[in-house]
Every structure is written in structure tokens, then in C-alpha cells.
Amino acid sequence: MNEIDKQWLKTLRYFADNSRAQINARKEEFPNEYPENVPNDLEDTFAKFGYLALHGNTKHIITQSGLQQLRDLEQIYQKDISYKISIASIIIAGLAFAKAMGWLDKLFT
């Protein structure tokens, strides 16, 4: 997962986890928090792609297509984590096999 995908994932999660009222309240209470979670260029980009409904009276700002994009990014994130865990498991299994065969003992003596 590249840095752009990570930023998109973080931003879409922010919109999915918070309602329109919560986001508006946080904008007023903590004005520095919103730009950390939602850079201006991403907010505009998401609105153009139809991922956000910035103006309206729906409970959440994120749209159905925004939720689908979030699901896709979360799936990529999970695959990345699974890949890293698989690599670590293969290395551990290889070390355990080498230890069982006595190859590590010969190597370090």
C-alpha cells in the first residue's frame, strides 16, 4: 500500500466513523484536528469523485461509493498485512527446520 492509499484510507475512515454533526462540532472545537485527518486537497478530490456529499442533510458525509472505496482500500491493507505475516511465518518455519536438522548448531560452532 503506497502513501496515497494510506492517506485516503485514513481520511475515508474519518468520514465513515463520524457523523456530519460530529465532524462539524469537531471543526469548531478543535480546528487543528480536521486538517490533520482531512487535507483540503483530499476533501475536494473526494467530493469530485462522489465519495463525499459535503452539502446536504444526510447523517453521514460519506456516500455509498465512498464506503465502497473504503472497503477496497481496507481489503488492500489487510492483504498487505497478511503478506507480511506470511513472510515472517516462512522465515520462522525455516529457522525452526534448520534448528531441528542441526544446521544452526553447525553454523554457530
Q: Measure the CA angle with vertex 36, ends 50 and 45; round to 5°.
A: 20
pLDDT for res 39 = 87
Q: Total structural domains in the chain?
A: 1
Tell which wins on pLDDT, 20 or 106: 20
Distance CA 49, CA 43 (A): 10
User: Which range marks the domain in which residue 53 is found?
Assistant: 3-107
Q: What is the rounded average pLDDT of the residues 77-100? A: 96
Average pLDDT on 66-73 reads 97
- Percent of the chain predicted with pLDDT > 70: 99
Instruction: Indicate the helix (H) or strand (E) that contains 70.
Output: helix 64-101
Instruction: Enter the pTM of the model.
Output: 0.82
Q: What is the DSSP letter of 30?
A: -
**CA–CA dist 85, 46 (Å, integer):** 32
pLDDT grade for 29, boundaries at 50, 70 and 90: very high
pLDDT of residue 88: 98
Predicted local distance difference test score (pLDDT) of residue 86:
98
Q: Mean per-residue pLDDT for 51-79?
A: 95
What CA–CA distances, in Å, run from 30 to 11, 15, 72, 98?
17, 16, 30, 55
Give me the pLDDT at residue 56, please.
85
Q: Identify the pLDDT of residue 47.
A: 94
